[in-house]
Structure 1
Amino acid sequence: MDTGTTQKLAILIDADNAQPSITENLLAEVAKYGTANVKRIYGDWTQPQLRGWKEILLEHSIQPIQQFGYTRGKNATDSALIIDAMDLLYTDKFDGFCLVSSDSDFTKLAARIREAGLVVYGFGEQKTPDPFVAACDKFIYTEVLAEEDDDKDQRKKRPTKDLKQDTKLVNLVRNAIEASSDESGWAHLAPVGSYIAKQSPGFDPRNYGYRKLGELIDAIGLFEMEERKVGDGHSKVIYVKDKRK
């Protein structure tokens, strides 16, 4: 699946499990991966708790889908979103879906869409159950999106000491470099990032307070980094290497 900006995407939002305050940054994030040809949000719009969405929907041309809760304790919104997703899937007009929810009920949906060969981008809070995160090709935590408007200097960067002690993070980066490196042990940063994304859909350097992968790897302090000129010398690429090698 091509993950370039030519992808045609459908954004489906579970209004009961998403906050209207993230909408602008959510759409900006989606734009990195493709064009949102469909933008729909599901909920019972007769309920007062969804009132905060109404102005946002008009501003960003998101189509609200009304779903009454027929039975107390049962989430009819989830069912409506899943049915629409399958209808859109069968049109064969899309390259991928953006599922916005922290609800594990969408785990099977994400897996089914991927089985059809389409890419799935998940968006949800850090409380999102691991099975749903793992079922997506990439999962972006909405807490990160909420911080996008913060000043760069105010971003909470985890210090090198803490990063070094994060065994899961260190092993993830080491394994990615090992899998992407040449005989000298050096690896181009781009394939390192691709390997990490495949192994850990929920990985994002912003989760650690860093905007880019290279900044995070450099901050860990266990890896060498080197800029190399390519082509006519005006362009540069970053290579990384495990210091133990």
Structure 2
Amino acid sequence: MTTQTPREARLAVLIDADNARAQHIDQLLVEVAKYGRASVRRAYGDWTSTQLTSWKTELLQHSIQPIQQFSYTSGKNATDSSLIIDAMDLLHAGNLDGFCLVSSDSDFTRLAARIREDGKVVYGFGERKTPKPFVAACDTFIYVENLTAASTTKPATVEQRTLVSDAFLDKLLAEAVDAAAGDDNWANLGAVGSNLSRLASDFDSRTWGFAKLKDLFAAHPDYVVQKKPNGVLVQPK
């Protein structure tokens, strides 16, 4: 009897080049690969403009298709409209499992919500300045600053790190652990991670300087982490 390998998720990476930085694309595509295969790669903007010069080399190196969009009217963002129309066409074609929307622009909030309504996964990528409504509309939102920091900083051991007190983080962790805890008060770290993603689409342990969720909990003074045969477990002290 043969076993079938699970099919890799097919993703569309749609980039608002007017609003995203070319310098982040290397790390961004590495992050996208964690979720599936970038079957569609498109970047939208006015490619006759000198403002997008830094993108042109990246397009060739990463096989990203440039979509030309002239700015027909002053004050109107034609790039956003073009990206949204293409996204809806791709959604209705039914060949994709999810979308990666690369922008810090709140104009894509309704697009993200609409894609989710169709049962597709939405990954957002943007800077920390991204408006909260767009962040919340995505299933998962990744801040590009976390990607660049991870690529330029050597990972530190847990003992070398100190977790700065953060009321928002403490509340989030407590809710996620409590929801995943069993009768013995231990919670599986995988279940905790899933709860964190549902509670906050932009939760990322890298925001607090830890590459892995396990390391964040190990550095937190209020939690105990143990590795068991059935996985990594966490419990409040």
Contact 2:104 2:125 in 1 (8 A): yes
Q: TM-score, normalised by structure 2?
A: 0.93
Q: Report the counterpart of residue 143 of structure 1 in structure 2.
A: 145
Letter in 2 for 1:183: D
Partner secondary structure for residue 221 of structure 1: coil
1:204 maps to 2:207: no
CA 1:241–1:6: 2 relative to 1, 3 Å: same
Q: Report the counterpart of residue 90 of structure 2 in structure 1.
A: 88
**Which ranges in structure 2 are unaligned for 5 or more consecutive residues?**
1-5
Deviation at 1:148, TM superposition (A): 2.8
1:121 maps to 2:115: no
**CA distance, structure 1, for counterparts of residue 169 and residue 110 of structure 2:** 27
Runs of at least 4 residues of structure 1 off by over 6 A?
none
CA 1:5–1:105: 2 relative to 1, 3 Å: farther
Q: TM-score, normalised by structure 1?
A: 0.90
Which of 14, 21, 25 in structure 2 is aligned with 1:23? 25
**CA distance, structure 1, for counterparts of residue 156 and residue 178 of structure 2:** 34
Q: Say how many residue pairs are matched.
A: 230
CA 1:12–1:158: 2 relative to 1, 3 Å: farther
Letter in 1 for 2:19: N
Listed as ranges, the matches of 1:73-222 within 5 Å are 73-153=75-155, 159-160=162-163, 162-163=164-165, 166-222=166-222
Letter in 1 for 2:227: E
Letter in 2 for 1:187: A
**Which ranges in structure 1 are unaligned for 5 or more consecutive residues?**
231-236
Partner secondary structure for residue 143 of structure 1: helix
Q: Which moved more, 1:215-224 or 1:96-105?
A: 215-224
Deviation at 1:149, TM superposition (A): 2.1
RMSD over equivalenced CA pairs, Å: 1.6
Contact 1:25 1:148 in 2 (8 A): no
